[in-house]
Amino acid sequence: MSSDREFVFTANDFAHVQKLIYDNAGISLSEQKNDLVYSRLAKRLRKHKIHRFDTYLQLLEDEKHPEWEEFINALTTNLTSFFRENHHFTRLSHHLKDNFSRATKDKPVKIWCAASSTGEEPYSIAMTVASAFGKINPPARILATDLDTKVLDKAIQGIYQLDTIEKLSAVQKERFFFRGNGKSSGQVMMRPELKSMVTFNQLNLLSDWPMKGKFDLIFCRNVMIYFDKPTQYKLLDKFSKHLNKGGLLFVGHSESFPDASHIFKLDKQTVYIRC
Ligand SMILES: C[S@@+](CC[C@H](N)C(=O)[O-])C[C@H]1O[C@@H](n2cnc3c(N)ncnc32)[C@H](O)[C@@H]1O
């Protein structure tokens, strides 16, 4: 800990933050994350005009304190992009064409994007579905959830900087986005048909899941990496109960679950099939 820091942040305070975020969001923070925690939460102390982390953390003793939402939002890592790990979208497209050509509005393909961050991932799914069915309003429903309410707000708006879509093809840009002009130049907005395919809701993967029916496909990418092994396997067990047999589970590039082979068979490149 360096003494030239603006706020008092002791080893005890760090341990306290580690416990709070683990118990409430499942996120395991290693010792190396000390500086990251300091810088992310320093903004919150500044906002409250508090000078010590222990005083700030006292606010969270009240389970209903509005600061809880800000605390969790500050400590989540929301990095994402359109068509991240592009091979997953190629796989999705083939899977849809091979298995769901008979889907209808009454019996749509059901997809869950379980850590959707600012929306680039569920909208990439929506674009892939639209392309696979060859229509902008295909028979598909996408549920997109995240713990962080700030990223959900941005996702619902569906407005992005132009450079975030630079790698998309000209056809994708034209079909799926409106280009901003005037005050909004330099921005793009998802077309309403795409937005209407996706429902955004807050959901903590560690809490109870309110969804009743099963999904055909689940994306849970680049979030389980923040959880410890017992939490990851508990989640996989829950995913298996929410995914139809033969359904696909897409996980992040550095996530692998060899001990779940009784419920999920590794297909290839971080795509698992529900046994
Ligand atoms: C690194 S982003 C990954 C986004 C996207 N899935 C992707 O791969 O591009 C991780 C996301 O997981 C969310 N997250 C972290 N802990 C969570 C939890 N317990 N429940 C639900 N979402 C969580 C974060 O808010 C963040 O948006």
What pLDDT, on a 0 to 100 scale, did the predictor assign at position 116? 98
Burial of 7 (0-12, 13-18, 19+ CB in 10 A): middle
pLDDT score of 226: 95
Any atom of ligand 1 within 6 Å of the Cβ of 126: no
Q: Annotated catalytic, 191?
A: no
The answer, yes or no, to whether residue 73 has pLDDT greater than 60, is yes
Interval between CA 250 and ligand 1 midpoint (Å): 14
Give the bridge partners for 215, in sequence order.
243
Query: Is the pLDDT at 61 greater than 90, yes or no?
Result: yes
| Angle ∠(224,239,144) on CA atoms, nearest 5 | 75
Q: For ligand 1, say whether the CB of 77 is within 6 Å of any of its atoms.
A: yes
- The predicted model scores a pTM of 0.96
| Span 182-224, pLDDT tens digits | 999 999 999 999 999 999 999 999 999 999 999 999 999 999 9
Q: Which among 167, 198, 193 is positioned nearest to 178, based on CA atoms?
A: 193
In degrees and rounded to multiples of 5, residue 32 shows phi and psi of: -65, -15
> Confidence band (pLDDT; 50, 70, 90) for 108?
very high
141-170 per-position pLDDT tens digit: 999 999 999 999 999 999 999 999 999 999
* Residue 13 among the catalytic residues: no
pLDDT score recorded for residue 190: 98
Which pLDDT band, with edges at 50, 70 and 90, does 268 fall under?
confident
User: 2 CA to middle of ligand 1, Å?
Assistant: 30
Q: What per-residue confidence (pLDDT) applies to 4?
A: 81
Model confidence at 3, in pLDDT bands (50, 70, 90)?
Answer: low
Q: Is the CB of 111 under 6 A from ligand 1?
A: no
At position 211, the amino acid (one-letter code) is M
The pLDDT value recorded for residue 26 is: 96
Query: Which residues are 2's β-sheet partners?
Result: none
Report the percentage of the chain scoring pLDDT > 90: 97
Q: Which atom of ligand 1 is nearest to the CA of 81?
A: 9
Angle between helices 149-157 and 67-75 (to 10 degrees): 80
pLDDT at 1 over 70: no
Catalytic choice (13, 146, 148, 216): 146
What percent of the chain shows pLDDT beyond 70?
99
Neighbours of 171 (CB within 10 A): 9
Question: Mean per-residue pLDDT for 44-66?
Answer: 97
Are the beta carbons of 27 and 227 closer than 8 angstroms? yes
| Residue nearest ligand 1's atom 2 by CA | 78
151 in contact with ligand 1, CB cutoff 6 A: yes
**CA–CA dist 121, 102 (Å, integer):** 25
Label residues 241-274 b or e (16+ Cβ within 10 Å = b): ebbeeebbbbbbeebebeebeebbebeeebbbeb
